[in-house]
């Protein structure tokens, strides 16, 4: 589940704002502190590419909502999805002070709605710059000087809750900074999703899971599509059945989450036929907010039937989004073009 | 002179694009790039305005440009990805709910910076579709389309985004004296070249400023009936009339058109496609005698014919014989050479004198040279039959009394090539002479010559006509002699002729022609557009325009040649009596065919035609009496006729065959 957000001065800047402090502006202020050559940061790699976030693969238990087994889905004729939501982040180390990195990050999220088969930005994208530093190492004078200059600050130490010696490793700082940036991005995505759901009655495709999004209600016309499968849900037989799904088949729906009332309904969908025997190729997992009645122990059959029909309908809509193919992205087999287009848009906004 | 409204800026509009530059594809002071929405009304040739965002010297820079290249691409990295997306089956019906992101990226060449200094690379900024005012600014027309001394001549309209902006040329750079001459090229068959010239002449006649003097046009109709119906109304569409209104040119045919054509070889009728009885009366015969032709003998005699010795004899004849009383002790009589017939009599007398004297030379001219020159000169009237008359009577263009805003069409379409060259050389020379003396009747003459690649070829013999065209191109503007030339392949025209044309128009071009070096300055997209231009579309280059501009012009308000020959079919070749009746009735409507038949019954055809020509030339009050008198006078035996039958001593020795000049 989500961790507590880091302490920061909450500045959210729209795209059109010209007052957003740039990395260069921030660097100018920090120059006496860092004594680094101007522009040196530009040659540094984004942390997102440098920091390895390898997690161990896992199989987690879940509660089935439908009878186990593959269900063939017929691709929809007309689109159901009206918009796509995604977020991006970029983090770079500007320099080091007292052994701790100063990380400049930009997070952004946007919804692109589809009008006449073309994608347009819904409302305005949200872009948030952030300087992640160790407040302890930086000292109060510099912290306030930066804050007074209008630079949104976040304390890397705020998420250091283990108290282990390894936490002072510069790479550990980097990893924590990156985690905080990810949380920032997720928060922007959640805010944007909540806004869509409150203003629109059309369907929104959210890239990634929705389990942390408490703003989504049962009537929300939004669903999440998870592309990575570090954790597979179900017992051994269920997982085998999932891996054996053929193109256009979905698994039985199940509940994901430790707390029942915060659990989301989910199912696997084989979006594209497996290639070279890779069982995860073309496999996505859909997350929706389940109707409360489904969570009851003695759920009526009609409610379940209706829920199954709902899952089938969404699956059919998701299958329709297989074209155009989101090549050249390496995740094309699970990445919808709409999401790819949002990513491209946001990368153009914040730079690569 | 009609006044056009001054272009004004339209209400503020939304930008249609944004300037974009990267390190790999930067903007320069002369080129910039911008992107637009995919449905933006922008294409090759569109004029745009860039509004910078950062003031330079407290002024927001504005840059005007014309689109010369366009690019479109999607977010695909490789075509293979699209193939994969469709499983390699283009016909597969795959539903695609979202269109791929697509970009329209354009490259524009700068037309103008405002302010001009400092000249900087085009700034980042918003791009707007140019309105009328912007178009005028971009093409620097603001310097000559307003004020009391305006010199704008509409050449067409520039169309973009539903707008129609007048495009005007500067008369000072079209007719002189700053620059002059116009050249138009394009493939045959679209009627663009002739139509454009006709339209432009109408525009010039309407808008040529009074403070720049008077202007007339001489058009050589060298093929078909294209220029034969300039005084007849043509068929115009509503769209054409709209353009005429917009450009302030009356949608009516030329008011003053004078036609000139030589006779056919038989001499019965004029050699023109404008021979329909309803129209033939407007055509004036173009006939020249010895004195008119001898001055341009060089046009018809090639270098092999005229060596130094022959040239000396021709000069002698021109200076001492023609038009004078010639007496020589050795000759049988006194000669007054006015015509080819007189000249032949003179030659016979000279040769007989030579034979009688047993000598080889007469006044230092060798007998062989004399025979050769006699042969060549006598041949002229045969080679140019219908144009050159034996009897010395001339019917010429009205040099000295040219009218303002009049078109003089010289129809030589059906005349032999030699005669065409002769007509062109003499008419242009006379125009030049009169313009030099300032007594032509007008201050400027536009000479329209089609098929320039034939008359002024890039390679080939250095003919008299080519030398004349080069002379006009290089020096004509100082005299007011302006060349409007047309050809299919510009690359085949002498580069000094096309190079001196201040204004150049291009219709649809052949792909092979576009591959020649002269078109290297054009972008591939502009070449592609040139290769597909429709009727009524032109690309214009003008000294004030820093880049070529595409315009549309209306159909000329005159009857096309094709329509003209359908509506006014050519009259059949008349008998001599019919021809004489028709011609004399122009002077006296009481003349009837029966009277003519009866009057000419006893005379030979050449005598009848010569008498007719004499009457037409002198235009007497009493036509019947004058015609009868001419017949009788011509029928009486002349001294040369008496010579021909008089007995004379035999030559002492025969001439060798090589003395006859080969």
Residues A175-195: tens digit of each pLDDT: 888 889 999 999 999 999 999
Query: How many C-alpha atoms does A39 have within 13 Å on its Cβ side?
Result: 0
| Residue B315, C-beta contacts closer than 8 angstroms, at least 6 positions apart | none
Q: Mean per-residue pLDDT for B99-116?
A: 93
User: Considering only CA atoms, which of A343, A328, A330, A314 is closest in space to residue A80?
Assistant: A314
pLDDT value for B386: 86
Please write down the HEC assignment for all residues of B273-299. CCCCCCCHHHEEECEECHHHHHCCHHH
Give the torsion sign (CA, A284, A288, A294, A300). Answer: negative
A344:B84 CB<8 A: no
Band (A14; pLDDT cuts 50, 70, 90): very low
- pLDDT (tens digit, 9 = 90+) per residue, B195-213? 999 999 999 999 999 999 9
Put simply, whether A81 touches B (Cβ < 8 Å) is yes
Q: Examine the pLDDT at A210 and tell me if it is beyond 80.
A: yes
CA distance B423 to B296: 10
Report pLDDT for B642.
55
Q: What is the mean pLDDT of residues B101-124?
A: 94
Judged by a CB distance cut-off of 8 A, whether residue B116 touches chain A is: no
Cβ within 8 Å, pair B96-A341: no
Whole-number percent of chain B with pLDDT over 90: 54
8 Å CB contact between A133 and A156: yes
Q: How many CB atoms lie within 10 A of CB A233?
A: 23
Distance CA B541, CA B549 (A): 7
Mutate to test the interface with B, among A74, A318, A324, A351 (most CBs of B within 10 A): A324
Cis peptide before B562 (omega within 30 of 0): no
Helix or strand or coil: residue B655? coil
Exposure on the CB side of residue B70, measured as CA atoms within 13 A: 21
- For B268, residues 6+ apart whose C-beta sits below 8 A from its C-beta are B573, B574, B575, B576, B578, B579, B609
| CA–CA distance, B483 with B499 (Å, rounded to integer) | 12
Q: Report the percentage of chain B scoring pLDDT > 70.
A: 94
A162 pLDDT tier (thresholds 50, 70, 90): low
Asked if residue B247 has pLDDT above 60, the reply is: yes
Q: Which residue has the higher pLDDT, B354 or A270?
A: A270
pLDDT of residue B618 exceeding 70: yes
Mean pLDDT, range B527-550, rounded to an integer: 94
pLDDT band, residue A2 (cuts 50/70/90): very low
How far A155 CA sits from the closest chain B CA (Å)? 37
Cα A92 to chain centroid distance, Å, stands at 19
Nearest to B100 among A79, A324, A328 (CB): A324
A337 touches chain B (CB under 8 A): yes
pLDDT (0 to 100) of residue A300: 84
Residue A349 pLDDT greater than 60, yes or no: yes
Q: Which of residues 307-326 of A touch B (CB under 8 A)?
A: 320-321, 323-325
pLDDT at B138: 96
Task: Return the SS3 of A183.
Answer: helix
Under an 8 A CB cutoff, do A341 and B75 touch?
A: yes
Q: What dihedral angle (degrees, nearest 10) is formed by the CA atoms of B363, B368, B370, B376? A: -160
CA A86 – CA A339 distance, rounded (Å): 6
A344 interfaces chain B, CB cutoff of 8 Å: yes
Tell me how close the Cα of A171 comes to any Cα of chain B, in angstroms: 34
pLDDT tens, A313-347?
Answer: 999 999 999 989 998 889 999 999 999 999 999 99
Average pLDDT over every residue of B590-598: 93
- For residue B105, is pLDDT > 60? yes
Of the candidates B606, B597, B603, which has an alpha carbon nearest to the alpha carbon of residue B578?
Answer: B597
- Kindly list the residues from chain A whose CB atom is less than 8 angstroms away from the CB atom of residue B75: 340-341, 344
For residue A121, the distance in angstroms to the closest alpha carbon of chain B comes to 13
Helix (H) or strand (E) run with residue A257 in it: none
Among A117, A321, A344, the residue with its CB nearest the CB of B75 is A344
Cβ of B76 under 8 Å from any chain A Cβ?
Answer: yes
Q: Between chains, do B94 and A119 touch, taking CB under 8 Å as contact?
A: no
Give yes or no for A10 touching B (CB within 8 A): no
Interchain CB distance below 8 Å, B98 and A344: no
Strand residue runs (E) in B20-131: 31-36, 47-52, 62-74, 102-114, 125-129
Q: Tens of pLDDT along A120-135?
A: 999 999 999 999 988 8
Q: What is the pLDDT of residue B459?
A: 86
Cβ distance A323 to B85 less than 8 Å, yes or no, reads yes
Copy the structure tokens of residue B350: 């000279």
Q: Using CB atoms, which residue from B77, B98, B101 is nearest to A328?
A: B77
Hunting for tokens 């035999």 — which residue is that?
B650
Q: Does A182 touch chain B (CB under 8 A)?
A: no
Tens-digit pLDDT profile for residues A215-250: 667 678 999 999 999 999 999 999 999 999 999 999
Average pLDDT over residues B362-386: 86
Q: Is the pTM here over 0.90, yes or no? A: no
- Residue B131: pLDDT band (50, 70, 90) is very high
Q: CA-nearest residue of chain B to A319?
A: B95
3-state secondary structure of B409: strand
Whether residue B72 is predicted with pLDDT greater than 90 in this model: the reply is yes
- Distance to chain A for B88, nearest Cα, Å: 13
Residue A42 has pLDDT above 60, yes or no: no
Mean pLDDT of B644-649: 52
A81–B96 CB contact, under 8 Å: no
> With helix as H, strand as E and coil as C, how does B199-221 read?
HHHHHHHHHCCHHHCCEEEEEEE
The ipTM estimated for the assembled molecules is 0.73
Residue from B81, B82, B97 whose CB has the most chain A CBs within 10 Å, to mutate? B97
Strand residues in B503-586 grouped as ranges (E): 503-506, 537-541, 549-552
**What pLDDT was estimated at residue A170?**
78
Query: CA A76, CA A69: separation in Å to the nearest integer?
Result: 21
Residue B308: which pLDDT band, with cuts at 50, 70 and 90?
confident
Reduced 3-state DSSP string for B415-460? CCHHHHHHHHHHHHHHHHHHHHHCCCCCCEEEEEECCHHHHCECCC
Instruction: Find the helix packing angle between B464-479 and B417-437, rounded to 10°.
Output: 20
- Would you call B442 helix, strand, or coil by DSSP? coil
Q: Strand B549-552 to strand A249-250: parallel, antiparallel, or no bridges (unpaired)?
A: unpaired
Q: Do A341 and B98 touch (CB under 8 A)?
A: yes
Which residues in chain A have Cβ-Cβ distances shorter than 8 Å to B84?
325, 327
Residue B358, sorted as left (phi over 0), alpha (psi -120 to 50) or beta, turns out to be left
Among chain A residues, the shortest Cα distance to B97 is held by A117
Report pLDDT for B193. 92
CA gap A199, A197 in Å, rounded: 6
Placement of tokens 């999703």 in the chain: A193
**Smallest Cβ distance to B98: which of A75, A117, A344?**
A117
pLDDT of residue A17 exceeding 60, the answer is no
Whole-number Å distance between alpha carbons of B202 and B217 = 10
Distance, CA of B526 to CA of B178 (rounded, Å)? 28
Q: Is A19 on the interface with B (CB under 8 A)?
A: no
Cα separation, A317 vs B95, in Å, equals 12
Q: Nearest residue of B to residue A330 by CA position?
A: B81
From chain A, the residues in CB contact with B82 under 8 A are 324-325
Residues of chain A in contact with residue B85, where contact means CB-CB under 8 angstroms, are 323-325, 327
């Amino acid at each position: 589940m989500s961790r507590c957000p880091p302490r920061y001065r909450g500045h959210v800047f729209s795209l059109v704002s010209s007052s957003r402090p740039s990395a260069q502006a921030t660097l100018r202020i920090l120059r006496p502190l860092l004594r680094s050559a101007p522009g040196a940061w530009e040659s540094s790699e984004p942390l997102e590419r440098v920091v390895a976030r390898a997690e161990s693969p896992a199989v987690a238990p879940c509660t089935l909502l439908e009878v186990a087994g593959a269900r063939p889905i017929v691709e929809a004729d007309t689109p159901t999805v009206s918009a796509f939501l995604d977020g991006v982040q970029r983090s770079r180390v500007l320099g080091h002070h007292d052994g701790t990195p100063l990380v400049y990050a930009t997070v952004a999220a946007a919804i692109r709605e589809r009008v006449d088969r073309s994608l347009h930005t819904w409302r305005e994208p949200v872009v948030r710059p952030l300087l992640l530093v160790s407040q302890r190492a930086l000292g109060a004078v510099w912290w306030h000087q930066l804050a007074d200059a209008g630079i949104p600050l976040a304390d890397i130490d705020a998420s250091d809750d283990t108290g282990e010696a390894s936490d002072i490793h510069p790479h550990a700082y980097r990893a924590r900074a990156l985690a905080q940036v990810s949380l920032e991005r997720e928060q922007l995505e959640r805010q944007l999703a909540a806004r869509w759901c409150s203003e629109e009655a059309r369907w929104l495709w959210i890239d990634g899971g929705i389990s942390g999004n408490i703003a989504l209600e049962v009537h929300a016309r939004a669903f999440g599509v998870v592309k990575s499968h570090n954790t597979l849900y179900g017992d051994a037989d269920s997982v085998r059945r999932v891996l054996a799904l053929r193109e256009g088949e979905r698994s039985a729906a199940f509940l994901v989450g430790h707390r029942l009332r915060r659990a989301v309904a989910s199912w696997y969908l084989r979006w594209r036929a497996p290639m070279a025997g890779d069982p995860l190729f073309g496999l996505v997992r859909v997350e929706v907010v389940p109707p409360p009645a489904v969570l009851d122990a003695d759920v009526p059959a009609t409610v379940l039937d209706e829920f199954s029909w709902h899952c089938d309908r969404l699956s059919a809509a998701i299958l329709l989004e297989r074209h155009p193919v989101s090549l050249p992205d390496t995740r094309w087999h699970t990445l919808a073009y709409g999401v790819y287009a949002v990513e491209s848009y946001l990368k153009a906004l914040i730079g690569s | 002179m009609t006044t056009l409204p001054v272009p004004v800026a339209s209400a503020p509009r939304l930008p249609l694009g944004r300037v974009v530059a990267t390190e790999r594809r930067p903007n320069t002071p002369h080129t910039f790039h911008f992107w637009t929405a995919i449905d933006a009304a922008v294409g090759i040739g569109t004029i745009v305005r860039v509004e910078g965002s950062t003031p330079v010297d407290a002024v927001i820079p504005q840059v005007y440009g014309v689109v010369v290249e366009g690019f479109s691409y999607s977010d695909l990295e490789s075509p293979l990805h699209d193939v994969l997306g469709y499983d390699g089956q283009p016909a597969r019906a795959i539903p695609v709910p979202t269109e791929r992101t697509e970009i329209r990226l354009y490259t524009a060449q700068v037309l103008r910076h405002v302010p001009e200094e400092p000249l900087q690379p085009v700034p980042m900024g918003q791009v707007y579709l140019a309105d009328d005012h912007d178009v005028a600014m971009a093409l620097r027309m603001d310097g000559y389309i307003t004020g009391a001394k305006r010199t704008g001549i509409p050449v067409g309209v520039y169309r973009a985004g539903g707008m129609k902006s007048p495009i005007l040329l500067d008369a000072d750079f079209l007719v002189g004296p700053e620059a002059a001459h116009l050249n138009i090229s394009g493939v045959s068959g679209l009627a663009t070249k002739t139509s454009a010239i006709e339209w432009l002449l109408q525009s010039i006649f309407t808008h040529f400023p009074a403070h720049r003097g008077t202007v007339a046009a001489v058009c050589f109709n060298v093929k078909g009936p294209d220029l034969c119906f300039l005084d007849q109304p043509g068929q115009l569409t509503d769209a054409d009339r709209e353009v005429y209104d917009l450009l302030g040119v009356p949608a009516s045919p030329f008011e003053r058109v004078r036609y000139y054509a030589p006779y056919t070889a038989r001499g019965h009728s004029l050699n023109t496609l404008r021979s329909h009885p309803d129209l033939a009366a407007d055509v004036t015969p173009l006939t020249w005698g010895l004195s008119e032709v001898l001055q341009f003998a060089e046009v018809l005699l090639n270098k092999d014919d005229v060596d130094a010795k022959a040239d000396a004899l021709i000069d002698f004849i021109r200076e001492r014989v023609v038009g004078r009383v010639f007496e020589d002790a050795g000759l049988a009589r006194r000669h007054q050479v006015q015509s080819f017939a007189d000249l032949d009599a003179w030659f016979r007398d000279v040769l007989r004198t030579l034979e009688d004297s047993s000598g080889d030379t007469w006044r230092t001219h060798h007998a062989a040279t004399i025979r050769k020159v006699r042969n060549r000169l006598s041949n002229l009237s045969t080679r140019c039959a219908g144009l050159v008359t034996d009897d010395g009577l001339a019917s010429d263009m009205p040099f000295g009394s040219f009218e303002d805003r009049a078109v003089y069409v010289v129809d030589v379409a059906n005349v032999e090539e030699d005669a065409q060259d002769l007509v062109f050389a003499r008419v242009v020379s006379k125009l030049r002479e009169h313009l030099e003396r300032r007594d032509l009747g007008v201050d400027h003459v536009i000479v329209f010559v089609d098929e320039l690649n034939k008359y002024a070829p890039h390679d080939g013999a250095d003919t008299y006509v080519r030398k004349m065209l080069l002379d006009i191109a290089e020096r004509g503007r100082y005299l007011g002699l302006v060349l409007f030339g047309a050809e299919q392949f510009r690359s085949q025209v002498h580069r000094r002729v096309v190079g001196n044309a201040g204004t150049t128009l291009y219709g649809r071009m052949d792909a092979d022609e576009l591959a020649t070096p002269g078109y290297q300055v054009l972008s591939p997209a502009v070449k592609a557009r040139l290769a597909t231009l429709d009727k009524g579309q032109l690309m214009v280059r003008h000294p004030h325009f820093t880049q070529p501009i595409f315009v549309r012009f209306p159909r000329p308000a005159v009857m096309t040649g094709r329509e003209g020959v359908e509506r006014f079919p050519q009259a059949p070749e008349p008998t001599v009596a019919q021809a004489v009746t028709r011609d004399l009735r122009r002077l006296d409507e009481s003349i009837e065919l029966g009277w003519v038949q009866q009057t000419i019954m006893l005379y030979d055809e050449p005598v009848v035609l010569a008498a007719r020509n004499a009457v037409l030339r002198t235009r007497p009050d009493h036509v019947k009496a004058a015609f009868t008198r001419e017949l009788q006078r011509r029928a009486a035996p002349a001294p040369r006729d008496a010579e021909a039958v008089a007995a004379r001593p035999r030559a002492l020795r025969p001439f060798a065959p090589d003395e006859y000049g080969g």
